[in-house]
Amino acid sequence: MSEITKISGAEAVIKSLLKEGVDLIYGYPGGAIMPIYDELHKYEDKLNHVLTRHEQGATHAAQGFARVTGKVGVVMATSGPGATNLVTGIADAQIDSTPMVCITGQVASHLLGSDAFQETDIIGISSPVTKWNCQVTKASEIPEVLAKAFYIAKSGRPGPVLIDITKDAQFELMEFSYSKCKTIRSYTPVPNYSIKQLKKAAELINNAKKPLIVFGQGVILGNAETEFKNFIEKTGIPSAWTILGLSALPSDHPLNVGMVGMHGNYGPNVLTNQCDLLIAVGMRFDDRVTGNLDTYAKQAKIIHFDIDPAEINKTVEVDVPVLGTVKETLPEILKLVNKNNHQNWLGKFHSLYEKEYSKVIKEELHPTKEGLSMAEVVKEINIASKGNAIIITDVGQHQMVACRYAKFNESKSNVTSGGLGTMGFALPAALGAKMGAPEREVVAIIGDGGFQMTIQELGTIFQTGSAVKIVVLNNNYLGMVRQWQEMFFEKRYASTELVNPDFVTIAKGYYIEAKKVSKREELKSSIELMMNSKKPFFLEVSVEKEHNVFPMIPTGASVSDIRLD
């Protein structure tokens, strides 16, 4: 009779990851997770571990990887500060529905609650910002818990999961077997759709004279881009996007009428309060989209397609909720809706765009001022990439400008921090995106403030050799805060002006090719040089110092009160 071979809990973690098809991990080692890293060392030929320079960088890199691949991003960190440094990225992933599994080491189980060295209650800390979390104190629990973690992270509305494993559980021996999780009692990731509700929705759509669709990331997460395109083309309904919905529909599609929200396009914001039917597809009525809820689309009937029942009537009362994944519900409603076009109504969007173009866009893209505008930098990147690049943005003015002016031909091409608005997101997220889609060009557009929050990840980019293109738009300000101070705080620029270092020298210190541009005549050739490089490239562009992003809906105002200046 052969003896059953036992393995350690640490090796069980590695074997469980391999069973889930994981081949890439971002992380940072430390005392409480050292047994897992020791086992990881034995599996270097099967698992690529990327040593980021900070645990927050690991989470954002995993987010970038997940956003462009649709796979689960995986992160590892030690206990105490290692674990708490993950929290910002976990919170970002939670609010932006990004699938991620974070594995943290913990002090030995007999020390729990004793304030041992580098002990923190990461389960308590992370509970509000995870889809699920669990502490493991016995090696035998590891395979089942990890199987459940991956299932929960990826299924239904995706999100982050954290698994905290005590050090003694990592050393303890166990008999290993692994079964992928396929169901959990009382957890229904995708609710069944109702034919009755679809028929009600179809009736409203067929009778509407001035319908408007607002689509969000649910289209991308549901891999329903084709189904969505078929739906809008049959119904002829103008379609606007949230910033996380951007790239689900090609930028040049004739029914794509632009961005809604605080710095969105003039037409879709104004006409939200004139449409007779508002159809929300995979979006959550965020406050930056709705403005003042008391005046938001009060004249319209509202249909809401969403996978998450908690989003229905959470902020906006809707007439017809349609639960389920849009991958299934859109083909079903396609059978019920009439072939239609709304050319006269669509013409209103076009005429309002012309007004926005003459008052805002023309000067942004073709400035008459001496200083470079952020928009013309994005325009040159569009030309060089032909709309085929993945654009990663940080948070601030540059983010709004990039979302407004970047052009996309392909889905999963716009990666940004939406709901949490995390400065420092872009640089590590761009690394993750490039590793997830190495065949595609990845361009990170970052402000000088956000860049310095995770600037150390230049070291990770150098060490991995990932050919990320980094563009820092430098105005020596925390630009978005400065804009608000100018508009609403009588130009009291409190703690927003930055005295910046020599970014080019820093990039070169990380052995990354770098250049600075401050003149318009150098911009095009410099972007072409960057895009043609097969290696990481850093480009700093000095842009106009006190520039404001318009249109803008002031805080607390109605979407129809959007300002062009």
User: Given 349, 379, 405, which residue is the final one in a domain?
Assistant: 349
d(CA 390, CA 165): 35
Judged by DSSP in three states, 403 sits in helix
359 located within any domain: no
| Backbone dihedral angles phi then psi of residue 52, each to the nearest 5 degrees | -75, 170
Q: Are 403 and 302 in the same domain? A: no
358 located within any domain: no
Instruction: Provide the number of structural domains found in the chain.
Output: 3
Residue 14 to residues 7, 19, 426, 464, Cα–Cα distance (Å): 11, 9, 29, 22
Q: Are 227 and 330 in the same domain? A: yes
Q: Is the pLDDT of residue 11 over 70?
A: yes
Q: Who has greater pLDDT, 354 or 1?
A: 354
559 located within any domain: no
Q: Are 331 and 376 in the same domain? A: no
Average pLDDT over residues 288-292: 96
What is residue 405's predicted lDDT score, i.e. its pLDDT? 98
d(CA 504, CA 178): 49
**pLDDT per residue over 52-79, tens digit each?**
999 999 999 999 999 999 999 999 999 9
What is residue 107's predicted lDDT score, i.e. its pLDDT? 98
Q: Is the pLDDT of residue 489 over 80?
A: yes
- Tell me whether residue 117 is one of the annotated catalytic residues: yes
- Tell me whether residue 480 is one of the annotated catalytic residues: yes
- Tell me whether residue 167 is one of the annotated catalytic residues: yes
Judged by DSSP in three states, 262 sits in coil
What is residue 4's predicted lDDT score, i.e. its pLDDT? 66
Please, which pLDDT band fits residue 2 given cuts at 50, 70 and 90? very low
547 located within any domain: no
Total residues found in the chain within this entry: 565
What is residue 73's predicted lDDT score, i.e. its pLDDT? 98
Considering only CA atoms, which of 163, 170, 31 is closest in space to residue 109?
170
Catalytic residue among 42, 117, 171, 362: 117
**Farthest CA pair distance, the chain:** 85
Q: Are 245 and 341 in the same domain? A: yes
Catalytic residue among 34, 118, 314, 522: 118
Q: Is the pLDDT of residue 354 over 50?
A: yes
Sort 22 into a burial class: Cβ within 10 Å, 0-12 / 13-18 / 19+. Answer: buried
Share of the chain above pLDDT 90, in %: 99
- Which tokens sit at 334? 């396609």
Catalytic residue among 283, 453, 480, 530: 480
What is residue 1's predicted lDDT score, i.e. its pLDDT? 38
Beta strand 7-8 with 173-174: parallel, antiparallel or unpaired? antiparallel
277 located within any domain: yes
pTM: predicted TM-score of the whole model, two decimal places: 0.97
| Residue linked to tokens 């889905």 | 411
What is residue 75's predicted lDDT score, i.e. its pLDDT? 99
The CATH number of residue 200's host domain is 3.40.50.1220
558 located within any domain: no
Q: Are 101 and 213 in the same domain? A: no
Q: Are 108 and 42 in the same domain? A: yes
354 located within any domain: no
Q: Are 335 and 274 in the same domain? A: yes
Nearest-Å Rg of the Cα atoms of the chain is: 24
**pLDDT per residue over 373-394, tens digit each?**
999 999 999 999 999 999 999 9
Q: Are 376 and 518 in the same domain? A: yes
Catalytic residue among 11, 20, 39, 55: 55
Q: Which residue range is the domain that position 81 belongs to? A: 2-175
User: Given 320, 349, 378, which residue is the final one in a domain?
Assistant: 349
Is the distance from CB of 477 to CB of 544 less than 8 angstroms? no
Q: Are 146 and 17 in the same domain? A: yes
Q: Are 163 and 38 in the same domain? A: yes
What is residue 295's predicted lDDT score, i.e. its pLDDT? 97
- Tell me whether residue 332 is one of the annotated catalytic residues: no
Catalytic residue among 15, 71, 167, 412: 167
Q: Are 378 and 421 in the same domain? A: yes
Please, which pLDDT band fits residue 5 given cuts at 50, 70 and 90? confident
- Tell me whether residue 46 is one of the annotated catalytic residues: no
Q: Are 83 and 152 in the same domain? A: yes
**pLDDT per residue over 167-221, tens digit each?**
999 999 999 999 999 999 999 999 999 999 999 999 999 999 999 999 999 999 9
Average pLDDT over residues 150-160: 98
Beta strand 469-474 with 442-447: parallel, antiparallel or unpaired? parallel
CA quadruple 163, 169, 170, 174: dihedral sign: negative
562 located within any domain: no
The CATH number of residue 23's host domain is 3.40.50.970
Q: Is the pLDDT of residue 138 over 80?
A: yes
d(CA 104, CA 75): 8
User: Given 314, 349, 384, which residue is the final one in a domain?
Assistant: 349
